[in-house]
Structures are given as structure tokens and as C-alpha cells.
Amino acid sequence: MKVGFLFDLDGTLVNSQIAVHESWMQIADEAGFHLPNLDGMHGLPAAVSLKKLMPDRPDEEITRWTKRLEQVEIVAAHSVFAVDGALELLSNLTDSGIPWTIVTSCTMDLAQARAGAAGIAMPAHSVTFDQVSKGKPHPEPFLLGAERIGLEPTLCWGIEDAPGGVRAAKSAGCTVAAVLTTHVKEELLEADHHLDSLDQLLRVAQIH
């Protein structure tokens, strides 16, 4: 039975924590809001997180700061690097003819900047936030990802690291493997499998 893989980007294939932290600190300073921490915001679209942090600001202002944040994050992408096993795993899937793509809450420009810095070539059929009407935790990104690699969602594995992404993939009907890079197992209980590293994925998925 043919299966495919739908990978989140940040925290799953790449480590962008330094870039994210520095970028959000800069925006918090520029926009004048308090940034206690980013807990609960990882894996969500930037506009959603900004609205939570600035609930009294009008939507037009949130949109403006969302665009500004993207600019800052693209500049900071040089500090992003691939997580252990990511490059080898993607190369293995490609060489084996197993379909995969990236499903991310980043915009295309930001995703390309971060993936490129990590040495990952973004597939042409990747799904980014600017291509969907509803982002994670809504299932739409994973439904579109499955469609783009030509498989039913039930034949796809959703690989995630954040609660919102796990929920999105699970709601889409995917088998979900959570990589424990940014959250602990207890925060990702909706996932079907929990991985300490990407190196375990093919064995858990029984891909030989």
C-alpha cells in the first residue's frame, strides 16, 4: 500500500528557534507589546499569535505587523539549520520514490528562506500559509498537502512537533507522528506515535 509523508517545517525538519526568538523580540520592541514567552504559539500562523498578543489592536494593524514580522524573519533565516536526520530522511524518501511534501504555517517566502538555509529544497507542491484559507490547527493545510501528492489523507503520515499541527493532521485523517523537539509527549497526546528523532520515522512507519 502506497503511503506519503506531509512534513511540518519549523521544529520538525528545521531548527529555527534562534531566528524566531530574535525576530519576535525585535517585533515586540517595535510594536510595543509585552512578549512573556512564545509558549502555545509555536506552529500557529503569525497573525493568530500577534492577535493574541495585541488583542486590542485593529485587524489592519495586525496585518501590518504580520508583514513586518515576515520581513524580519526572512533576514534572520541565516541561523536556521536542519534537525538531525532530516536531510538523510528526505533524500531516502526521494530516492525510494515515496511521495512527500512540506505543510507549514510559514508563508512561501519565509519557508523558502528557512528551508534553503537548512539545505532543504522546498518541493514545488509544498503547502504554505498564504495558499490556504484556514491555517493550522484547521485540517485544510494537510488536506491540501495530501491532494498535492496524489493520495488520500488516510494514506498519509503527518509529521509534526506542535499541538496545533498535530491536531490539524489528525483532523485531516492522517496518521500522526509527533517529533519531540519542541514539546513533550504529554503536550502531544493526540498523535499516534511519538519520535525522539526523525531517524525513527521509517521504522515506525514500516518503510523498508
Let me know: does 50 contact 68? Beta carbons within 8 Å.
no
- How far, in Å, CA of 105 to CA of 185, rounded? 21
Cβ-based neighbour number of residue 185 at 10 Å: 11
Q: What is the spatial distance between Cα 131 and Cα 62, in angstroms, rounded to a whole number?
A: 19
CB 61: neighbour CB atoms within 10 A?
Answer: 13
Would you state the cell numbers that stand for residue 208, as one nine-digit string?
523498508
Whether residue 130 lies in the annotated active site: no
Cβ neighbors of 181 (< 8 A, separation 6 or more) are 11, 12, 15, 83, 161
Is the N-terminal amide bond of 137 cis, ω within 30° of 0?
yes
| Set 10, 39, 161, 196: catalytic member | 10
> Is position 10 annotated as part of the catalytic site?
yes
The catalytic residue among 8, 56, 84, 161 is: 8
The grid coordinates of residue 28 equal 515586540
Q: Report, as residue numbers or ranges, the catalytic residues.
A: 8, 10
